[in-house]
Amino acid sequence: MSGSAVWHPFTQHATEPVPPTIIRTEGAYVETREGKRILDAISSWWVITHGHRHPKIVEAIRHATETLDQVIFAGLSHEPAEQLAEALVDLAPAGLDWVFYSDSGSTSVEVALKMALGFHRNNGAPRSRIVVMEHSYHGDTIGTMSVGARGVFNAAYEPLLFEVDTIPFPAAGLGQEALDAFERLAHGRKVAAFIVEPLVLGAGGMLMYPGSILAELKRIAERTETLFIADEVMTGWGRTGTMFACEQAGIAPDILCTSKGLTGGSLPLAATLATDAIFRAHYSTDRARTFFHSSSYTANPIACAAALANIGVWNDEPVAERVASLSRMQAQMIARFSKDARFDNLRTIGTIAALDLRVANAGYLAEVGPKLRAFFLDRELLVRPLGNVIYLLPPYCVTSNELERLYAAIDEAADLASDIR
């Protein structure tokens, strides 16, 4: 064991090496105490969009600290939160008119689930069933683990998790099976809400499905008066090629969760956007119908200022063009492995690319996972495979040459991993 008292997330300290200490970040790189510049190919867990320490966002944070720090958001408000809410309503799919702030992706989903149950209860027709998609991941709090896939991530906490209904993942050729399953559940169980990661399931293995399926799921939800929750925590802010993934299906959810890229990755902040109907279900002279949720740091003014600056970057800089360029580069570069027997299931959507390394024992706990991480880190590349699933999700400032480095390393890593297949 090292001399550090830090307990790191998703880290088995008995087997993992002591992690490098980062002293500086800039653009697509994080720099260690020893002077190594590591290319951040996963956007530091999918949060960094434009690049580390974007000057406009950093300046907005600095400016906000001159007048504000944390302000209680129950009974008080402040301009950064008001302005950000207005901007989010303008950016989001039509009909999402109310913004509830929290401080992480997990809490934004918890908020969404509570909104859904409160909506039905306050309207006099309580519903409590939640439908989820197979292999999904929505966070690590009790509620979000309950609506995510069950497995090694949450086996120890199973007694605390509530029961949900699950539809199959709509893999190629199985889309109708997923739709039929949702139709049966939505009609038979009086479902409160369906929650889904639009177009791509992130932690579940970067699994991708078409917008046509997402659109039909939304139509079923509408027909059965089931609220539709889009978890855009990872997929939002350009990751799938559009501002929000829902746009590619032409749908507007009843509730949308956003975090990660909301501040450009600079500070933790989350928002749950909801329709006016959901807000009105909680709007009453009866105080028992209040939406009872908060956290101490709800709508932190400095984080809200960072998010406003992030939106300013989107408005003032050619971010959409950068996203489109990165999307093209990812599709072109991954194609080199299209006939490579070492890999399966090559896939891209927007700025995300993923492929499965063929191994005898696949899955999140595949033995190859830690070895791949170490291999990439030794070459000053921050790549964190999901078991045998190698994916690249870089910030939008990454260059063609930097991507070439990454794909060359994937090619090399596949050969070096052959001894554990």
Q: Which residue segments constitute the domains of the chain, with CATH numbers given?
A: 82-315 (3.40.640.10)
Single pTM value for the model: 0.97
Say what the pLDDT of residue 289 is: 96
Residue indicated by tokens 């958001």: 73
Burial class (CB in 10 A: 0-12, 13-18, 19+), 128: middle
80/299 Cα distance (integer angstroms): 9
289/52 Cα distance (integer angstroms): 42
In 118-202, where do the E strands start and end? 129-133, 165-167, 191-196, 200-201
In 5-161, where do the E strands start and end? 22-26, 29-32, 37-40, 96-102, 129-133
> In 209-357, which residue ranges form alpha helices assigned H by DSSP?
211-223, 276-281, 301-316, 319-334
100/81 Cα distance (integer angstroms): 10
For the record, the structure tokens of 26 come out as 């800039």
Sign, CA dihedral 186-189-191-196, equals negative
Say what the pLDDT of residue 95 is: 98
The residue among 242, 411, 278 whose CA lies nearest residue 336 is: 411
Say what the pLDDT of residue 1 is: 61
Measured between its terminal Cα atoms, the distance across the chain in Å is: 29
The residue among 254, 272, 266, 300 whose CA lies nearest residue 144 is: 272
What are the per-10-residue average pLDDT scores of the chain (421 residues)?
Answer: 87 94 98 97 98 98 98 97 98 98 98 98 96 97 96 93 98 97 92 98 97 98 98 98 98 98 98 98 97 96 98 98 98 97 97 96 88 96 97 98 98 78 46
Say what the pLDDT of residue 318 is: 98
421/101 Cα distance (integer angstroms): 46
